[in-house]
Structure 1
Amino acid sequence: MAILPIRIMGDPVLHSPAAEVDEITDEVRQLVRDMYETMDAAPGVGLAAPQVGVSLRLYVYTYQDDDGRPWRGVVINPVLWMKPTEPGSPDPDEESEGCLSFPGERFPLRRSEEVLVTGIDLDGSPVRIQVEGWRARIMQHEFDHLDGVLYIDRLSDSDWKTTQKIARKRGWGRPGVSWTPGVDDLDA
């Protein structure tokens, strides 16, 4: 297994829709193993293949409940259904999120409170995930990556402008910029 470099906003693979996985090959299985290792090292709660430079429709996720129960898996070729998002402004304390492709920052973003995701796993078996709250947020965030959307693309105008200033200051927003968990120091 290997820890892979994580692409930072501006890399074209992050801003284009990913391709369906046609076949679960040994290469796809190795990619998923490497993605788990990368996500854990970052640390993150989700990681989509485009974030490691691979334009395929798959992501891994992990989350630990308040009672300590782990929730971990992979979804290949996911389809996402969401309850309509409640109108209003997001609560910065309860609805902020971050992204490994815009590391070190968090911004408030309103998401749907409940989603259903279907797809397949590494064995080709059907996956059906119906979740609420933070788990729903993770599913929406990672699914967005497969459509070439970063969470910063969904922010309010003022927060989006702030992200652009941060990106310019750090030299992001262009092709080829990445960081490797455990190797690169991202303190700004």
Structure 2
Amino acid sequence: MRHGSIPGARGRVRPLSLLGDPVLREPCRDVTDFGPELADLVEDLFATMYAAPGVGLAANQIGVPLRVFVYDCPDDEDVRHVGHVVNPRLVAADGVVLRGPEGCLSLPGLEAGTERYDHAVVEGRTVTGEPVTVHGTGFFARCLQHECDHVEGRLYVDHLTGWRRRRSARQITRAPWHRASAGQL
């Protein structure tokens, strides 16, 4: 990505992987090649996220099992955070646990009150291989934890318990995108 360019402007919108696609449930592989294919993937992730629209998107959500995600997400003070992380590691999730509405582009139209910490720190690399550390608070911390879950093969519904989990399971079976092979939380 060129410095100063609009993320996703050169990317192509790719189809989203939906719940039931095995790529969403497998831990993703580390990126080892920081070349033009990775830059193209990041551009495609931004283009797809903006088209969806969403505030974050992991590579496995477009069928690519690599540890990469992008984000364009506000925090609770309405400060906009835009970027990407390659080979992300959630190194801190702490502070106050808050339950807030959470959805996912791979489970379109659904959301549930999900508990997340209000502070998160993610370490990884940029598309060119430079080290990067991203700090998030509030809604942006939720986004970072959500995307780190994706690269580990987890979804927000995995954090649900009790009636919230049962309600989400019912909503999934009724969703128009639900496939016979999907549906299991």
TM-score, normalized by length of structure 1?
Answer: 0.83
Work out which of the residue numbers 79, 100, 118 in structure 1 matches 2:89. Answer: 79
- Map of 2:104 onto structure 1: 99
Q: Contact conserved, 1:116 with 1:129, CA < 8 A, in 2?
A: yes
TM-score, normalized by length of structure 2?
Answer: 0.84
- SS state of the match for residue 109, structure 1? strand
In structure 2, relative to structure 1, the CA distance for the partners of 1:96 and 1:72 (3 Å cut) is: same
In structure 2, relative to structure 1, the CA distance for the partners of 1:175 and 1:46 (3 Å cut) is: farther
- Map of 1:116 onto structure 2: 121
Fraction of identical pairs, as percent: 37
Instruction: Letter of the 2:44 partner, please give it.
Output: D
- Structure 1 residue 129: deviation in Å? 1.1
- Map of 2:7 onto structure 1: none
In structure 2, relative to structure 1, the CA distance for the partners of 1:65 and 1:111 (3 Å cut) is: closer
1: CA distance, partners of 2:179 / 2:165: 13
- Map of 2:149 onto structure 1: 144
Q: Contact conserved, 1:12 with 1:175, CA < 8 A, in 2?
A: no
- Structure 1 residue 164: deviation in Å? 1.8
- Map of 2:55 onto structure 1: 45
Which consecutive unaligned segments of at least 5 residues does structure 2 have?
A: 1-10
Work out which of the residue numbers 135, 140, 146 in structure 1 matches 2:140. Answer: 135
- Structure 1 residue 64: deviation in Å? 3.7
- Map of 2:29 onto structure 1: 19
* Alignment partner of 1:164 is 2:169: yes
- Map of 2:19 onto structure 1: 9
1: CA distance, partners of 2:58 / 2:151: 7
- SS state of the match for residue 56, structure 1? coil
1: CA distance, partners of 2:64 / 2:180: 17
In structure 2, relative to structure 1, the CA distance for the partners of 1:83 and 1:65 (3 Å cut) is: closer
In structure 2, relative to structure 1, the CA distance for the partners of 1:174 and 1:37 (3 Å cut) is: farther
Instruction: Letter of the 2:128 partner, please give it.
Output: D
Which consecutive unaligned segments of at least 5 residues does structure 1 have?
A: 177-188
In structure 2, relative to structure 1, the CA distance for the partners of 1:147 and 1:113 (3 Å cut) is: same
Higher mean alpha-carbon deviation, 75-84 vs 103-112, is at 75-84
Q: Contact conserved, 1:4 with 1:38, CA < 8 A, in 2?
A: yes
- Structure 1 residue 81: deviation in Å? 2.1
- Structure 1 residue 166: deviation in Å? 2.0
Please give the root-mean-square deviation of Cα atoms over the aligned residues, in Å.
2.2
Instruction: Letter of the 1:137 partner, please give it.
Output: R
- Structure 1 residue 158: deviation in Å? 1.6
Query: How many residue pairs were aligned?
Result: 172
Bigger relative contact order (CA 8 A; separation at least 6):
1
